[in-house]
Chains A and B, each alone.
Chain A
């Protein structure tokens, strides 16, 4: 009885995490009529509720992989499965937060966050969700602000709220903190962990910040230079909340930097 009640409650409030399978996916870019390989036989699985960080050198094709997972582009070869079903296009259960907050400048903060519900015709019945999402990212009271009146960190929080309002089962984060100043960045990292913990979605994060990957993720997948191949798949076996000075994380950090060919900087 108790279990059943919890399940219903969970379905009403939170979407559980999505299972993601990336099966020998390869992808190319067309550049001046030539094929430029960006992904080469990338193959991994993400179990529901995991927080997986994709780590690799800049421009190696990680973001391309996210576009494929989001369904914005089809892969050239291989397949991507969400809960066992092939990803055929974008879906509100898989929401992306980009490096640039890309808020719609002509909409207020509230309307920006409400966009997903509006697009799906759910706004009338779920208005409260918008306020809730804004509260979750600590922006209650900024409903009527316009994006250009916000700082970079606040704008990124709005982008996060805009994603969370849809109850995504997979949150795709494409270097969401990449453009923030280092203090805001550290604060937002803790918030990402908190939000992921409360909502229970699966998270896929692209980053080239080793420390960020270790602070946030349950697993770090390391990619090679372009064309991206999986170099290593490292489990981060530490509980949350984590501490940046944790000796185990420091050890893993050295290991990851080694994999990235940056051991000399340690």
Chain B
């Protein structure tokens, strides 16, 4: 009985298998084609320049999924990653259609606060140069501040964890300044530093350096003392103990600190750009809101989300490489 029912459930999958298709990816392709049709065929209540362009893009996306569904089984490789993502791709097609319907088609959500997707597309098409410029400036500022902060924080953390003298003098300072949000230094930083850019680098470095210092410190102090005993009997000097024992053993903690520091550096970046720096995504957000260009604001928000999550992804990739020994998945 149960065998029979299992079989009848399995049958469509078997059919797709025989046809060598990825049914989920195919469904995603069809869903995006449907969204494209909705965008194109359902008239807008107001005039939007790029409704057609958007429909074409959605149709191209859908077509790409359909091609992948058919050719994917023969191509394999990176295309295969689409398969587990299929439910998300379908849901995104639905969301795009809903967004389209609620804004441009029905206008149930009030303009200009809720921009339709074609307005975002328009913002990218008309203002891409400025957006790229802002993104480059933001990333440049963030990476500079973050690297300065992470490096300094790491050195401070190792010193605090290793040297009693450093811990004696450094601990109270870190305890007093550490919990304070870096943005509180903003007014001081903007007049104490020669430029708003250098002030922002300082603030981002402070925001990212503090958690790195604290976590590195705790990582170094938490190292199993037997690791030191062994290395000492094997002939290690202090320098070797720090470089080859303390630091590698503390790396899991250090990465937690690097992650926390990266997250708080985003917050400081946006605030600094909104208040002082004359370029960058934070500045763009402020500027777009000032002109009531809400579509541009959303466009910048999307870029910002991609940039932030991309940087976190990079950090995690670096961690997975460096801390591969923590997992049981290493091939050798």
Please list the residues of chain A having a beta carbon within 8 angstroms of any beta carbon in chain B. 67, 70-72, 89-92, 94-96, 98, 100, 102, 104-108, 115-116, 118-120, 144-146, 148-149, 162-163, 166, 172
Contact = CB atoms under 8 A, between A and B. Distances in A.
Given A98-B230, A102-B224, A148 B328 contact: yes
Interface stretch (B233-241, B277-285, B302-310): B233-241
B176 interface: no
Contacts of B3: none
Nearest to B230: A102
B249 A119 contact: no
B234 A92 contact: yes
A102 B226 contact: yes
Contacts of A70: 229, 233
B227 interface: yes
B332 interface: yes
Given A119-B240, A146-B332, A104 B227 contact: yes
B325 A166 contact: no
Contacts of A146: 325, 330, 332
5 contacts: A72-B232, A90-B233, A106-B325, A119-B240, A149-B330
Nearest to A109: B332
B246 to A, nearest CB: 11
B248 interface: yes
B167 interface: no
A106 B276 CA distance: 44
Contacts of B251: 106
Contact of A102 (B227, B236, B244, B330): B227
Contacts of B332: 108, 144-146, 149
A106 B247 CA distance: 11
Given A98-B226, A102-B227, A119 B237 contact: yes
A122 to B, nearest CB: 9
B197 to A, nearest CB: 38
B228 to A, nearest CB: 9
Interface of B: 224, 226-227, 229-237, 240, 244-245, 248-249, 251, 323, 325-326, 328, 330, 332
A82 to B, nearest CB: 13
Which of B231, B233, B245, B325 has the most CB atoms of chain A within a 10 A radius of its CB?
Answer: B233
B330 A118 contact: no
Nearest to A99: B226
Contact of B248 (A104, A148, A166): A104
Contacts of A166: 234-235
Contacts of A102: 224, 226-227, 230
Contact of A119 (B227, B229, B231): B231
Contacts of A91: 233, 235
A163 B240 CA distance: 17
B227 A116 contact: no
Nearest to A105: B325
A116 B234 contact: yes
B315 to A, nearest CB: 19
Nearest to B228: A72
Nearest to A108: B332
A161 B235 CA distance: 15
Given A100-B226, A102-B226, A115 B231 contact: yes
B249 to A, nearest CB: 7
Given A106-B249, A119-B244, A148-B328, A72 B233 contact: yes
B232 to A, nearest CB: 4
Given A106-B249, A118-B244, A96 B237 contact: no
B112 to A, nearest CB: 55
Contacts of A94: 233
A96 to B, nearest CB: 5
A102 B332 CA distance: 21
Nearest to A71: B233
A100 B224 CA distance: 12
Contacts of B236: 115, 119
B234 to A, nearest CB: 4
Contacts of B237: 119
B254 to A, nearest CB: 12
Contacts of B240: 118-119
**Lowest 8 CB-CB distances: which A-B pairs, in order?**
A116-B234, A92-B235, A119-B236, A90-B232, A144-B332, A120-B235, A90-B233, A106-B325
A116 B231 CA distance: 7
Contacts of B244: 115, 118-119
Given A91-B233, A146-B325, A148-B325, 17 more contacts: A67-B229, A72-B233, A92-B234, A96-B230, A98-B226, A98-B230, A102-B224, A106-B248, A107-B248, A107-B325, A115-B231, A118-B240, A118-B244, A144-B332, A145-B332, A149-B332, A172-B233
A115 B328 contact: no
Contact of A116 (B229, B235, B245): B235
Which of B235, B323, B325 has the most CB atoms of chain A within a 10 A radius of its CB?
Answer: B235
Contacts of A89: 232
A162 B230 CA distance: 10
